[in-house]
Structure 1
């Protein structure tokens, strides 16, 4: 620990890529094939959410996906069993489990859920909605389980919140590009406008910085690369591609393969030299 989620991409001076999916959407047997596709396609990280209802930070696409996962009976145990089944066969892909505290974690002590996630073979845990009074116990439990932690902050977060997120980001730091719900568009000024804030985070953490929210196209990936972040996180756009395939009765793995191809990776993070003539 810490786990280096985007080491291969960084070594090639390329932007890393994480994608978000809800466990159980598509159904777990199909999701197994989709995870194999992600691994073979050079995706660096899967943020695999234990589905939970009524997320205040997710838009309708991700909420519908969570609803489908919940309708299929997918909870924390099923998600961790899935991770344990697919993890040994992965060559590149890391898996960060996202679990909502109120829906999935609150009935267990931090030491117990940290150990369960670690034992599944997951590479990190992102706890959503963790109450402030439990944060210290949560951090300590993950350290004791040798389980990397994904933390989050916003550009407008208080200095204390930013400092805490940076201090405990042993997996990576998820920089949420804007307030609001997922899938609602890019932040004002584009993701490249986050460059000053990304630079300030570099002074606070040695862990990778991944930018998410509003990242859905090749142009968005380029903008994230220009921000200086290590990786981009793509969520709602990919989930929407799966939803379209499911609604059409076509293969969701093929649908997601086409979505990844349209993203046009890899992208260099090396600044282009200015080749204009100078007087």
Structure 2
């Protein structure tokens, strides 16, 4: 079992929902983002989703695009992001870390080299949004063989014909994108999401977490209530982009986490 598997099993045994928090590695600089990352578990975060900055983040809205740009302007790289994970692991051996990004930086580094380094650094899972199931041999299957979860996204447009393909080699959890479009673009509604989560759960034993469009403790509670947990990204990244002090960012994360855990 990976850290992700163990975390979701423990949460299920406790009757609790998962709170997953997304931050961009290197935003606004590596030192600050590492400080935020180190504070997430104490703020109630069960799984950390760490963004890998990329020049063409097609699935991301303006808030996360700007975060990636700030990180790139600060010379954040894949190697530095793995160094961040290593530094985090010096003080935290238990919190799962999912690296979310795009395939180009991984391909450029070399898949075998990347997987070996990611596993050694302490990465537990990958979300690579521009690799469809048809390309599983590129990264998904090698990642699974290396002991990393490969987490797939399902969306409102993932129909009954497509869903089995999406689920085929997914592990760790399924990430349900609650709104059609880019991150941070619309507010998710639990009433619309609930039946979709039930549809996915009828086809898999994996936990299903919902993300995109969750910006308040109340929406975190509502969305976590119809799934196994929720993901908040843009609402956190926005505070970083506004230059809020780290304690203020973490205090807001704690409020969001408390909402999700009430779900």
Whether TM exceeds 0.5 here: the answer is yes
The alpha-carbon deviation at position 127 of structure 1 amounts to: 1.3
Q: Distance between the aligned counterparts of 2:93 and 2:141, measured in 1?
A: 30
| Contact 2:21/2:232 (<8 A) preserved | yes
| Contact 1:169/1:205 (<8 A) preserved | no
Matches within 5 A, 1:148-187: 148-187=149-188
Indicate the residue corresponding to 2:23 in structure 1. 21
**Partner deviation per Cα, 1:149-198 (whole Å, 9 max, x = no partner):** 111110221334322332322121110011111111224xx124222221
Indicate the residue corresponding to 2:114 in structure 1. 113
Matches within 5 A, 1:25-64: 25-64=27-66
Indicate the residue corresponding to 2:75 in structure 1. 73
Matches within 5 A, 1:71-220: 71-90=73-92, 92-102=94-104, 104-130=105-131, 134-187=135-188, 190-220=189-219
CA gap of 1:30–1:108, structure 2 versus 1, over 3 A, is: closer
Q: Distance between the aligned counterparts of 2:213 and 2:190, measured in 1?
A: 9
Q: Distance between the aligned counterparts of 1:47 and 1:161, measured in 2?
A: 25
Specify every segment of 5 or more residues in structure 2 that has no aligned partner in the other structure, as ranges.
Answer: none
| Contact 1:166/1:201 (<8 A) preserved | no
1:265 aligned counterpart, secondary structure:
helix
Q: Distance between the aligned counterparts of 2:136 and 2:260, measured in 1?
A: 36
**Partner deviation per Cα, 1:244-272 (whole Å, 9 max, x = no partner):** 2x1xxx52x11212312432435344xxx
Q: Distance between the aligned counterparts of 1:26 and 1:10, measured in 2?
A: 35
Which one has a bigger Cα radius of gyration? Answer: 1
**Larger deviation, residues 111-120 vs 143-152:** 111-120
The alpha-carbon deviation at position 35 of structure 1 amounts to: 1.7
**Partner deviation per Cα, 1:47-85 (whole Å, 9 max, x = no partner):** 101101232221111111100100111111111121122
Q: 1:257 aligns with which of 250, 253, 263?
A: 250
| Contact 1:39/1:91 (<8 A) preserved | no
**Partner deviation per Cα, 1:95-139 (whole Å, 9 max, x = no partner):** 10113113x122244333222221211111111212565323422
Indicate the residue corresponding to 1:273 in structure 2. none
Q: Distance between the aligned counterparts of 1:219 and 1:154, measured in 2?
A: 22
Indicate the residue corresponding to 2:239 in structure 1. 241
CA gap of 1:238–1:45, structure 2 versus 1, over 3 A, is: same
Q: Distance between the aligned counterparts of 1:204 and 1:170, measured in 2?
A: 13
**Larger deviation, residues 169-178 vs 196-205:** 196-205
The alpha-carbon deviation at position 15 of structure 1 amounts to: 1.9
> How many correspondences in the alignment?
260
Specify every segment of 5 or more residues in structure 1 that has no aligned partner in the other structure, as ranges.
Answer: 270-279
Give the TM-score normalised by structure 2. 0.90
| Contact 1:15/1:231 (<8 A) preserved | yes
Give the TM-score normalised by structure 1. 0.85
